[in-house]
Structure 1
Amino acid sequence: MLVGGFAAGVATRVARPAEAASEDVRIADLDWVDARRDRRVPARLYWPPPAAPAGPIPLIVFSHGLGQSRMGYSYLGRHWAANGYASLHVQHVGSDGSVWAGNPFEILDRVKVAADEREAIARAADVSFALDRILDRNSAFAAFLDPARIIAAGHSYGANTTLLLGGARVVREGRTLDRRDPRVKAGIVISAPPFYGERDLHAVLAAVAMPTFHVTATEDVIALPGRRSPVQDRLDVYEAVGTMRKALAVFQGGSHSIFTDRPLTGGARLNPQVKQATAEGALAFLELAFRGDSSPLASWSETWRPILAVAPTPYPVAASSRPPSRRDRPRS
């Protein structure tokens, strides 16, 4: 059994170079249904290879952009899994590839429905449901995952989903819509759009307290039917996030879709560089977020400086304030 094979391979591991390990990343497609909401929640899981370093596995839950699916952003899933992280890519059926299917004259209407705040809330619920399932004690994976290191990540619309899970709030008719999931301890925010229709971005994002790594590019313009968002919106989101435990990386050039699996957007040379740098940068930031170690992020900035318009500045972390991980705890 595929899932059983995953579980069997976790107990004994030998370290290997990431390049070799990436060939052995294991993948499983999970087809869940949230009966309470009568909503399908498909997902694709990238699992570390058998020879990855031993220890509880941190989990990144990834939320795709508008019109994408669980099949996308595979370069992130493969890289993260090759480096010892499980990467669960959730598909949001109300805003996935079905947006582009059907009558082309009705695309504008489909985009409007997919971008509605009810779907935005449903997407966050999808991720929380996926966490419920994979962390359930009956799951084949739960025993090998580290609940102290659960990370939400997402691109574009998925970046908004990540921020909702981290505490972003909107108020409607005097009622606060809050989808924060306390299991999520950090966020990877790639090309975040504004919260459309919200006038006070600081009020929406002030409650986001988890460490967040923000990634964008100088040509990161969103141009969808009925919606356009300049690069400045990405920077405004970064500034408005309430936590001081955050960092910003801005690539020189690029595009909004350079962060998808598309191979040529942003330029044939720059595209693979940005993808590799984004995948590596996220993990470097997580070393800062969970271990208080800023050296991987500083080294990353130096390595990728030729394509960075803005290099992230690691925030200061007092040794006593480091969030504990299961690996840091003494064994009985």
Structure 2
Amino acid sequence: MRVSAPTTGDALPVIIFSHGHGQSLYAYGPLTDYWAAHGFVVIQPTHLDSRMLGLAPDDSRRPRFWRFREDDLATILDGLDHIETESLTIRGRLDRSRIAVAGHSWGGQTASTLLGATHPDPDNGSVVNRKDTRIKAGVLLGVPGSGNDLTEHAARTFPFMYPDFSTMTAPTLIVVGDHDIGRLSTRGAGWWRDAYDLSPSPKALLNVFGGEHALGGIPGYEARETTDERPERVAAIQHFSTAFLYSALYPGDPAWLDAVAALAAHGAPEGSIEMK
């Protein structure tokens, strides 16, 4: 895993970040570096599906990638004492009462489970509930929507991806691109809104204009999968996600409402906000 942190400050809030399919601890610098520079300790595991690990196509663990991903996040939460001890730069500097989770794409689905979303276990049909009350808020970027709208291929490949967002009660910002068509769903860009539309308040939605699945370039500074490169789009996501987490983790902090008010007053070419 990778730990990024500000060089100064104490009682620092924590973000645990789950990467997208095939990525690793080295990805998502445009987000994780920004969050660390603005006062957060960011912890990034490398999940078993990472291309960096190079598992064989017939590796018996592949059908359970979803379970290993969720276990990774739980292991970090349970092992914060060990992580803090091993990472000298953050020793004694974490605020355990202010922990958020974030993720992109499959990582968004993984992160959503700690926020309260459930899904079926494809092995036996039971409901998988990984909600953790230590997680106080979340940011889900390009998170997959309802399993009822998966393509035939996606339904075979991701049999666990039938989320129930009705139990995702924690404050969460959902970030979607209105040009994110993808190959997972038959519904088009509207499918990525489901985590917002089908979950209870308090929630916020950042609809990024022109954004495709890479949302302007959040997977990395030189990510080849970025088909919609736009630094201004990335900057908007950096700004609004940071403001949301400040206000969610520190009740009474005006950062989020100030950001929304500024958007309403001046408008912005990068996106729009919805709240409930």
The alignment's TM-score, normalised by the length of structure 1, stands at 0.67
**What is the CA-CA distance between 1:206 and the residue it aligns to?**
1.5
Say yes or no: does 1:215 pair with 2:162. no
Q: Which residue of 1 aligns with 2:108?
A: 159
Q: Which amino acid aligns with 2:246?
A: E
Using a 3 Å threshold, how does the CA distance of structure 1 residues 272 and 102 change in structure 2: closer, same or farther? Answer: same
Structure 2 distance, partners of 1:175, 1:198, is: 21
State how 1:25-44 maps to structure 2 within 5 Å: 43-44=1-2
Distance 2:72 2:5 in 1: 20
Residue 312 of structure 1: how far off its partner (Å): 3.8
1:80 aligns with 2:41: no
One of 76, 79, 97 as aligned partner of 2:51 = 97
The answer for the alignment partner of 1:55 in structure 2 is 10
TM-score (normalizing by structure 2):
0.79
Q: Verify the 8 A CA contact 2:30 2:221 in the aligned structure 1.
A: no
Distance 1:121 1:184 in 2: 18
Equivalent in 183, 206, 211 of residue 249 of structure 1: 206
Instruction: Pick the aligned partner of 1:278 from 210, 213, 237.
Output: 237
Whether the 8 Å contact between 1:194 and 1:237 is mirrored in structure 2 is yes
What is the distance in 2 between the residues matched to 1:198 and 1:133? Answer: 37
Report the 3-state secondary structure (helix = DSSP H, G, I; strand = E; otherwise coil) of the residue aligned with 1:127.
Answer: helix
Please report how far the alpha carbon of residue 73 of structure 1 lies from its aligned counterpart in structure 2 after TM superposition: 0.2
Q: Distance in 1 between matches of 2:55 and 2:164?
A: 35
Contact 2:18 2:44 in 1 (8 A): yes
- Equivalence map 1:286-301=2 (5 Å): 286-293=245-252, 295-301=254-260
Moved over 4 A (4+): 137-140
Q: Indicate conservation of the 8 Å contact 1:287/1:293, yes or no.
A: no
Question: What SS class does the counterpart of residue 70 from structure 1 fall into?
Answer: coil
SS of the counterpart of 1:238?
A: helix
Long gaps (5+) in structure 1: 1-42, 316-332
Aligned to 1:237: 195
| Kept after mapping to 1: 8 A contact 2:117/2:165 | yes
Match for 1:250: what amino acid? N
Counterpart residue type for residue 183 of structure 1: R
Secondary structure of 1:158's aligned partner: helix
Secondary structure at 1:216 match in 2: strand
Q: Residue 119 of structure 2 corresponds to which residue in structure 1?
A: 170
Match of residue 119, structure 1, among 65, 87, 93: 65
CA-based RMSD: 3.1
Q: Distance in 2 between matches of 1:130 and 1:236?
A: 27
CA contact (8 A) 1:134 1:142 kept: no
Bigger relative contact order (CA 8 A; separation at least 6): 2
What is the CA–CA distance in structure 2 between the aligned matches of 1:203 and 1:75, rounded to whole Å?
28
Query: Within 1, Cα distance between the matches of 2:147 and 2:221?
Result: 26
Deviation by residue 1:248-292 (Cα, 9 ceiling, x = unmatched): 001110210233115583544xx2112122122111112321233
Residue segments in structure 2 that go unaligned for 5+ positions in a row: 151-160
- Paired residue secondary structure (2:92): helix
Q: How many residue pairs were aligned?
A: 253
Q: Return 298-307 or 280-289, whichever deviates more.
A: 298-307
Q: Counterpart in 2 of 1:45?
A: 3
Give 1:88 deviation, angstroms. 0.8
Matched AA of 1:64:
H
Q: Would the aligned equivalents of 1:63 and 1:154 in 2 still touch at CA under 8 Å?
A: yes
Partner of 1:184: 135
Q: CA deviation at 1:144?
A: 1.4
**Separation in 2 of the partners of 1:71 and 1:149?**
24
